[in-house]
Amino acid sequence: MSASSPLDHRHRSNKQFVSDYYEALNVFGAAPTQPPGALRHIVRSACHSDVTFSCCHPVNEIRGAEKVIERFYEPLFAAFGSLTREADILIGGAFDGGRKGDWVASTGYFVGQFRADYCGVPATHAPARLRYGEFCRMQEGKITAVFLILDLIDLIHQAHHSVLPPALGKDAYRVPGPQAQDGAMVEQIAPPESTDASLQLVERMIYEGLAKFDGDGDRCLKKMGMEAYWSPEMVWYGPAGIGTQRGIDGFQSGHQRPFLEGFPDRKGGNHVARFADGSYVASMGWPSIYATQRGAYLGAPPTGRRVTMRVMDWWKREGDLLTENWVLIDLPHLFLQLGVDLLANLKKTQTHLTPLPLHTHSRHVSPALTSTLTPPNRAVSSDYETEAGGDSPTLTAASQESSFSGEIYLTMNGCVAPLE
């Protein structure tokens, strides 16, 4: 086994730093009373004063530690009492040999008492869990950039509302952490040969396997040869609205096929961060995927619009195959590009629309349910360059805004309905 290097110790130090930051926030959140200025002291101590904070919709882009406190942390702690974070996976590493940064990535849940509305989701005044994925870029002992996705669709479900059709997969009460319960690798320094093998397997799966899809339906699903990369007993833990799938067949029927039918020209792998830590791999793109919606997806009929997707992944490797995959997608942001503001219209969907017959397959949409409206202009932007492929388009604010024309759709209780 190779001896640990100064780089290994730097990654371990970064993981410990982020873990300590999370613990300080947990102590703050769990305290019956919070001393004045305590939250500011914690965030300022961990984050660079000019930190960039890229969050899921509707929070989106924030710059500067003070604004992060005001726009993210204060509303979060106000909405959830006794709030703590449970990290199921916490790993660290460098992207592209450190040329694209040192990173710490974690996923798990915020847990607390849901006492006030949050991001348009009505409070339940009961215990709630909020699934998260977070990537922190480390530079000179400080967090200089944060990328965060919250599974707000799951929070909506906990509030006993629905804005998407029933998931083809299983929407679990709580997406589990790794079956081996070894994902919080705060103190570990993994053997470099294990780290290299994990990253190489994931990169082959993305750039050699998934890249073989050319839009020709089931034939191309087989052509991608997922059996070369995934264990037959693999588990895919998707976001609420898509759900969890077991086995390669379940993964393909419950996620890959509907996704590729909806976005057959998708180009992925445009990552801001991608690294391994032992048997774990993490990647994140902001956006990660560029695509055109050519087919129905999660109840939304085809719009022909160009979209981007913010995506985070964590994989677990055992031997020569991948066994588990935790995935977060900013679905409210995706649907906004399709003309649907899921969060802004959450209450309206529960009170103004009459439920329509539920189709058993989420890809089926009746043309009679569409209504032509003028949607708001929204632009997708990122302060970070992505690892661009030669055929991946760059969406400017102007081109993104000009794509918002046509029909808007809204879903309620598993049914697609026109927005009034």
- The 10s digit of each residue's pLDDT in 10-58 is 999 999 999 999 999 999 999 988 888 999 999 999 999 999 999 999 9
Whether the Cβ atoms of residue 322 and residue 315 lie closer than 8 Å to each other: yes
Query: Could you tell me which residue, 68 or 419, shows the higher pLDDT?
Result: 68
Stretch 193-203: mean pLDDT, rounded?
Answer: 97
Question: Mean pLDDT over all residues of the chain?
Answer: 84
* Number of alpha carbons in the 13 Å side-chain half-sphere of residue 130: 27
pLDDT recorded at residue 250: 92
CATH architecture of 6-158: Roll (3.10)
pLDDT recorded at residue 331: 98
pLDDT confidence band for 240 (50 / 70 / 90): very high
Helical pair 6-30 and 38-46, crossing angle rounded to 10 deg: 170
Q: Is residue 391 scored above 60 in pLDDT?
A: no
pLDDT recorded at residue 204: 95
pLDDT confidence band for 387 (50 / 70 / 90): very low
User: In the chain, what are the domain boundaries?
Assistant: 6-158
Q: Is residue 352 scored above 90 in pLDDT?
A: no
Q: Is residue 149 scored above 70 in pLDDT?
A: yes
pLDDT recorded at residue 171: 82
pLDDT recorded at residue 145: 98
- Give the whole-number percent of the chain exceeding pLDDT 70: 80
Question: Residues 6 or more apart from 109 whose CB is under 8 A from it?
Answer: 85, 86, 88, 129, 130, 131, 132, 174
pLDDT recorded at residue 350: 52
**Each residue's pLDDT tens digit, 272-331:** 999 999 999 999 999 999 999 999 999 999 999 999 999 999 999 999 999 999 999 999
Residue 291's CB is within 10 A of a number of other CB atoms, namely: 23
Q: Is residue 148 scored above 50 in pLDDT?
A: yes
